[in-house]
Amino acid sequence: MDREFLSELFAGFGPVTIRRMFSGFGVSADGINFALVLRGAIYLRADENSIPRFQAEGSQCFQYEMKGKLRMIASYWRLPERLYDDPDEVTEWARTAHAAAIRAALKKAAKKKIAKTKAKKSEPSLRANRSNPECSKAKTGLLRRKSSSQ
């Protein structure tokens, strides 16, 4: 599969960017990758909303072998071969894949935000840093001075 074929196949979807990725191509729109082209097949982004549709078509998720173990990437599923000759239906599947990719990006951003918030909450405060002996001494001395001056 070459760029020209892919551009024609996804033409109904709208403008796409096709970039070299791994040993194939990545297909994206609006800066969001929604398809991989590897080993002569197209894999579309999928999630819990769209995986049943791929399963109904007898499709499989992207798989590869590494160190003697079969690895399965459940977020990308093979485009059914019957669709290669039906650009209108490919457009519909591509829109579904793009929507799944957007949902995944939003989930990832939300997790990142939560992790960042948790990290900020766990940062030690200079005023309450009991693990630093110098801070503890200064705080204790300050408390003694306050109580003795009253």
pLDDT one-digit tens code per residue, 92-147: 999 999 999 999 999 988 877 777 677 766 665 555 555 555 554 544 454 455 45
Give the confidence band of 1 by pLDDT, cuts at 50, 70, 90: confident
Instruction: Give the count of beta carbons closer than 10 Å to the beta carbon of residue 4.
Output: 9
pLDDT at residue 64 is higher than 50: yes
- The pLDDT assigned to 136 comes to 47
| Local structure of 10: helix, strand or coil | coil
Section 66-90 average pLDDT: 94
Confidence at residue 119, expressed as pLDDT on a 0 to 100 scale: 72
* Residues 93-125 as b or e (16 or more Cβ within 10 Å = b): bbebbbbbbeebeeeeeeeeeeeeeeeeeeeee
Cβ contacts of residue 40 below 8 Å, gap of 6+?
1
109-122 pLDDT tens trace: 887 777 767 776 66
CB 3 within 8 A of CB 39: no
Side chain identity, residue 7: S
**3-122, CATH topology level:** Yope Regulator; Chain: A, (3.30.1460)
Instruction: Tell me the average pLDDT across 57-78.
Output: 95
Q: Which residue's structure tokens are 């819990």? A: 48
Which position has the higher pLDDT, 77 or 21?
A: 77
pLDDT of 43 strictly over 60: yes
